[in-house]
Amino acid sequence: MNSKVVAISLLASSSILGLGYSSITFADVEYCYDVSGYVSTQNVTQTTQVGSIDLVIKSQVDPYDVVFEGTGNLVGNITSFPETYPSDPILLSHVAKFPKGNSFVTNGDEAYLWPKGEDGCLFDANETIKEIAGGTRFFKDVTNVKIQAYGEVSYCPQANMNWFSLDGEVCFEDPKP
């Protein structure tokens, strides 16, 4: 039997069974990894923060398999402070740049702040990163992300420092070595 007849027979068989050759696809496969790390920034304006990010990305199967580890520069910008806050979140974007050309840009990060203390300049913070809008090298094919950042934001003149711990997941089109 020649190869054309075999191919037509396979297609006809899968169509009769209701499978259809287009239903067999691997396009929706994601390779997901655990994310942890720390962020420290200073407020340089009312809407811009500048600092550093320490990031560790590990296999979900083998926690000793680190696929990315690095310290980079971080710039954050408040893109929207809704009039309905605290019902609706503050929106931010971030640019993280690591050595060897690795970088990513987030968009639409959602943050909530709660006053801490009596001076009115210190806040507990919870931020959710749900989109990496673009990335280079290691971060170029991110398909899904959900990272929680828990920490503290300070607009206090004597302690203008923000601290966050990071915990979550990032997924890619292709597996990472």
Contact 151, 125 (CB under 8 A): yes
pTM, rounded to two decimals: 0.81
Contact 55, 47 (CB under 8 A): no
Residue 30's pLDDT is 86
Asked whether residue 13 carries a pLDDT value surpassing 80, the answer given is no
Distance between CA atoms of residues 169 and 177, nearest Å: 17
Which whole number is the average pLDDT over 33-59?
97
Name the residue with tokens 């971080």: 74
**Model confidence pLDDT, tens digit, residues 62-106:** 989 999 999 999 999 999 998 887 789 999 999 999 999 999 999
Residue 136's pLDDT is 97
Distance between CA atoms of residues 16 and 134, nearest Å: 43
List residues bridging with 66 in a β-sheet: 58
Asked whether residue 174 carries a pLDDT value surpassing 50, the answer given is yes
Residue 27's pLDDT is 55
Structure tokens at 173: 């089109």
Phi/psi region, residue 147 (left: phi>0; alpha: psi -120 to 50; beta: rest), is: beta
Asked whether residue 147 carries a pLDDT value surpassing 50, the answer given is yes
